[in-house]
């Protein structure tokens, strides 16, 4: 059964196949076997995460530098101790400073990530798509390059217009502008729907690939189990 492998690998394969079957039992409805596998997974995940935090953050990044007399690391230690007071109702106000610092830093990091990781790259990509001056319009590839750039610009503008919800019914030029914005917003929602559909299809494809991989491992395990050594 374990030809070419070790006893540890065989035990690991058996545990993996058993837990996979327990998870698959959810297709028959919620049952104790599925909940057992779920609890095992959550327990291992929490225990591993706790061990990583204690080793990589508490010891390596905090206590070891303090043992080397790097006193600047006393500040995060003090903030951590202050933050622990949030668990006591009467002294919870003491941890407000550390909580505010965490929220402020987290908000700044999220905002900079949104700007540097999404908005600015999208603007840069739109600008590059508009730079089609070197396209040879006498060839089909040149027209395809121009069309792709126009599609990127149109999709970006329409997607931004999709979040404009204040276009009221008006008359004259204002009414014409409102109708154009509403039309562009409708086209933008189509672009957003297409993007979400593509993302969902990619996630579903990844999930099916993982499912096929787990089924292959289960079949391989039982094939080894039934094959005489």
Band of the pLDDT at 45, cuts 50, 70, 90?
Answer: very high
Do 187 and 156 form a contact (C-beta atoms < 8 A)? no
Helices (H), the chain: 7-24, 32-52, 64-67, 74-83, 96-114, 120-130, 140-161, 172-226
Higher pLDDT, 129 or 76: 76
Average pLDDT, the chain: 83
Do 132 and 158 form a contact (C-beta atoms < 8 A)? no
- pLDDT, residue 41, reads 92
Q: Is the pLDDT of residue 118 over 50?
A: yes
Band of the pLDDT at 35, cuts 50, 70, 90?
Answer: very high
How far is residue 116 from each of residues 31, 112, 123, 127, 161, measured CA to CA in Å? Answer: 46, 6, 10, 16, 21
């Amino acid at each position: 059964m374990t030809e070419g492998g070790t006893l540890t690998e065989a035990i690991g394969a058996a545990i993996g196949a058993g837990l996979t079957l327990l998870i698959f039992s959810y297709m028959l409805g919620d049952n104790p076997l599925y909940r057992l596998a779920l609890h095992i997974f959550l327990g291992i995940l929490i225990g591993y995460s706790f061990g990583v935090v204690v080793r990589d953050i508490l010891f390596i990044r905090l206590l070891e530098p303090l043992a080397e007399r790097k006193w600047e690391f006393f500040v995060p230690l003090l903030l951590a101790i202050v933050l622990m007071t949030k668990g006591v109702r009467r002294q919870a106000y003491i941890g407000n400073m550390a909580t505010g610092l965490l929220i402020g830093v987290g908000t700044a990091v999220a905002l900079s990530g949104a700007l540097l990781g999404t908005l600015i790259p999208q603007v840069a990509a739109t600008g590059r798509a508009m730079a089609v001056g070197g396209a040879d319009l006498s060839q089909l590839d040149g027209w395809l390059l121009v069309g792709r750039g126009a599609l990127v610009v149109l999709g970006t503008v329409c997607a931004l217009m999709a979040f404009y919800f204040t276009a009221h019914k008006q008359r004259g030029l204002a009414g014409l502008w409102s109708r154009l914005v509403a039309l562009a917003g409708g086209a933008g929602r189509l672009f957003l729907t297409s993007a979400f559909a593509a993302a969902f299809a990619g996630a579903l494809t990844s999930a099916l690939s993982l499912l096929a991989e787990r089924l292959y491992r289960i079949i391989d395990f039982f094939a080894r189990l039934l094959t005489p050594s």
